[in-house]
Amino acid sequence: MERLTKQAQTIRCHILAMITDAQVGHIGGSFSSADILTALYFHIMRIDPLNPNWPDRDRFILSKGHGATLLYSALAERGFFSVDELSTFGKLGSILQVHPDRNKVPGVEASTGALGQGLSIGIGMALAAKLDKKNYHTYVVLGDGEIQEGQVWEAAMFASHFKVDNLTAILDYNNVQLMGNVPDIMQIKPVKEKWESFGWNTIEINGHDFSQIINAVNSAKMKKGVPTIIIAKTIKGKGVSFMQNTCEWHGKAPSNEEYKKAIRELKA
């Protein structure tokens, strides 16, 4: 856990630096999922950074594609490409586009960014595993604003109908979207009951607690015959006090002053 905590902190520092330097990017939603991705990439997933196309690899899809800086930081730290590459983020010609491009970055499985599409794609990968009798697991991280998209529910229906139990969805439930708090924009509650009514197994956790994340994933993988969604209560902007719980930092890039204040907190 100590190791994972430090790893997540390093990742948050990368995210902050990338977005400040490029003056574009999504801090709030990248920070809220940071612990989830740290747990996945540094403890849970069976992947090989030197073999990003290894057919038996676990698949990960960041359906909330605006968290790209988080994904890139995790991939770089894990060894899929050089950490030096991160400084090219958001600049013309970079492989690190503001939303992930599957054709440019080793380790990126889908070109997400247009919300609501990742769960369907993940289901396709999980179905392929069943067809090919492979054991890899597919993970899809969704945003809470994102589940306002109808396609997500089409996918949810399908996954339950087809018993796609080799896929685990994780909801980054930070309660804030671009224009404001989720309940004020478009109420999504009751979340757990909705997913259960669609035939899913649900597990509620604190999305910043590594043991809860890991235990939930283990439990999800053991659950046969139904797909599982881990509903992770998170804090948008988690890690920097003045960036937390506000839509202000959904897509704003920090000034140099703000960067200094933020990095001091992260490194404390």
Partner 1 sequence: MVAMREVFGKALLELGSINENVVVMDADLGSSTKTTYFAQKFPDRFFQVGIAEQNMVGIAAGLASCGKIPFATTFAVFLTKRAADQVSISVAYPRFNVKLIGAYTGLFNGATGASHMAVEDMAIMRAIPGIVVIDPADAEEMKQAVKEISEYKGPVYLRETRDEWPDIFNADYKFSIGKSSVVLDGEDVTIIACGVMTSESIKAAEILKKSKINARVINMSTIKPIDTDMIIECASKTGAIVVAENHNIYGGLGSAVAEVLAENIPTPMLRIGIRDILGETGRNHELLEKYEMSAEYIVGAAKRVINNNKNLDSIY
Residue 154 interacts with partner 1 (CB under 8 A)?
yes
Which of 1, 46, 162, 183 lies at the binding interface for partner 1 (CB under 8 A)? 162
Six token digits for residue 191: 């979340």
Six token digits for residue 187: 């109420």
Buried b (16+ CB within 10 A) or exposed e, 151-172: bbbebbebbbeeebbbbbbbbb
Residue 124 interacts with partner 1 (CB under 8 A)?
yes
In sequence order, what are the beta bridge partners of 116? none
Contact string (CB under 8 A) for partner 1, positions 178-217, x = contact:
----------------------------------------
What does the CA dihedral 92, 178, 20, 59 come to, rounded to 10 degrees? Answer: -70
Which of 9, 10, 88, 151 lies at the binding interface for partner 1 (CB under 8 A)? 151
Kindly indicate which of the ranges 1-9, 16-24, 113-121, 234-242 contains the residues binding partner 1, using the contact rule CB under 8 A.
113-121
Q: In the complex with partner 1, which residue's Cβ is closer, 127 or 266?
A: 127
Cβ atoms within 10 Å, residue 63 = 29
Which of 123, 141, 229, 232 lies at the binding interface for partner 1 (CB under 8 A)? 123
**Residue 215, CA distances (Å) to 39, 132, 241 in order:** 11, 28, 28
Q: Report, in Å, the least distance between residue 57 CB and partner 1.
A: 11
| Residues making contact with partner 1 (CB under 8 A) | 55, 101-103, 109-114, 116-129, 131-132, 150-151, 154-155, 157-158, 161-162
